[in-house]
Amino acid sequence: MPDFPAHASPAFPPISSPRPKHGDRTVSELNLDRNGKHDDHSHPPLISPAFTPPHTPFHDDKRQHTLPVEELERRPSNHLPELPIVHCEVRARIPTTTGQEMFLHLYHNNVDAKEHLAIVFGPHIRSKSLDAPRPGETERDRMIRGAYVGTLYPGRTSSRRVQEIQKEAGARPSAGYLSGLNGPTQHQPAPSESDDGSEFDSIYPPSLGPPLVRIHSECYTGETVWSARCDCGEQLDEAARLMSLPAPTPVSTPGSEASDEHQLQHQIQANGKLPSCGGVIIYLRQEGRGIGLGEKLKAYNLQDLGHDTMEANLLLRHPGDARSYGLATAMLLDLGLGNPNPTPENPGLGIRLLTNNPEKVRAVEGRNREVRVVERVAMIPLAWQTGGKEGVQGKELDKYLGTKIEKFKHMFAPG
């Protein structure tokens, strides 16, 4: 047997051993020397892009530092034939350490059993499925699951249904009116008809421009245990910071200066800060680019053996990136940030997407562009912005970011 290095993986070239039948396999059992051929008795190829390494990384005792980039062809975004069905079960107000407030929305869906989240900043974005009445529920039930407008306080007895507001107004309530109801104030202004009388969909004020949106995949290591292998925690913090920035003062129209000033002062008194322009972080439970925490930790060990983050996933027989974004599209539609039936005349409210990943832009928009990305906002690492004075730093992060640029084709410049 050849004298392989002690850290070689696989430890020996499999010749005729059968492929394992169980999902818990070691790298040495993967039988990589198959030249891309699969018979009827083998598992279907799972890696993405559709490429099986022709040799082990240590074939002929020659170390290969990277898999051939030219063979890792990019695939078009694979949109689902139909968007998943999502349902917001509950939301709650979360005061943050920055002094701003956000509403945490918990979603269920018909695709998986996970609880995905929408972190909503600002008073202008509401969930349609949350606000919809449910059979047999009381006003207290609605308030407990977060389907209320305004602010909860001891002794409150009414949730003030959005549907009732529409009925009382005789038309779609104005954006300013509904924003006031959803904001920190307990005093509810009188409804007024909208200019177009169109169906109630989004209450996000056009004067603020397209809202910021971040589609963020769960990263326990980067967000909770201070890992410097990635910048996921830093990106989550930066997205929250940007969405918590004060909203610009709206341009007043003749006769509206007094009411605008009064409403602004009341909001400042209510929570001590200017209201934020807001936005949404869609938090998807797809750890490790979709492979799960256990497999992700195995991939970390492969990275310590010299492989990059994409190679590690491929060697574990996983896609380089196994994530999907149909749930994110469906959740944004539920939050009123898209149009389920877009037309050239009514394409829906556009969003500004915080991402460096061009594949994510195409995937989030959906097959029929139900969500319209009007701008890609780059997320530049803080260490790059500050010349190394702030932000996550380390040799592992440098290699990780390099792989993102070289193999995942991420772009760290404004789009």
Could you give the percent of the chain with pLDDT greater than 70? Answer: 62
321 is known as an active-site residue: yes
pLDDT on residue 204: 76
Which of the residues 131, 308, 321, 334 is marked catalytic? Answer: 321
Could you report the per-residue pLDDT of 91-118, keeping only the tens digit for each? Answer: 999 998 888 899 999 999 999 999 999 9
Give the list of residues 6+ apart from residue 309 with CB closer than 8 angstroms, or none.
Answer: 299, 303, 400, 403
Which residues are paired to 380 by β-bridges? none
pLDDT at 175: 53
Residue 150 pLDDT > 80: yes
Q: What integer pLDDT is reported at residue 168 of this predicted model?
A: 53
Q: Which residues contact 337 (CB under 8 A, 6 or more apart)?
A: 125, 202, 204, 211, 213, 280, 348, 349, 351, 371
Q: Span 395-404, mean pLDDT?
A: 92
Give the residue carrying structure tokens 């592992």. 396
pLDDT value for 398? 92
- In the set 145, 323, 372, 376, the catalytic residue is 323
Weakest mean pLDDT among 48-52, 160-164, 267-271, 390-394: 48-52
Phi, psi dihedrals of residue 213, rounded to the nearest 5°: -135, 135
**Which tens digit of pLDDT belongs to each residue from 355-389?**
999 999 999 999 889 999 999 999 999 999 999 99
3-class DSSP state of 15: coil
| Residue 323 bears catalytic tag | yes
Q: Over range 43-56, report the average pLDDT.
A: 41
Question: Has this prediction a pTM greater than 0.75?
Answer: no
Q: pLDDT at position 246, please?
A: 79
Confidence at residue 11, expressed as pLDDT on a 0 to 100 scale? 44
- Mean pLDDT of all residues in 43-57: 41
Q: Which is more confidently placed, 323 or 48? A: 323
Per residue in 264-274, pLDDT (tens digit) is 445 444 545 55
163-189 residue pLDDT tens: 555 555 554 555 554 455 444 444 443
Among 340, 413, 326, 349, residue whose Cα is nearest residue 370: 340
| Beta-ladder partners of 104 | 92, 119
Please name which of 145, 159, 116, 100 lies closest in space to residue 287, comparing C-alpha atoms: 116
Mean pLDDT of the 50-73 span: 40
Q: What is the pLDDT of residue 342?
A: 82
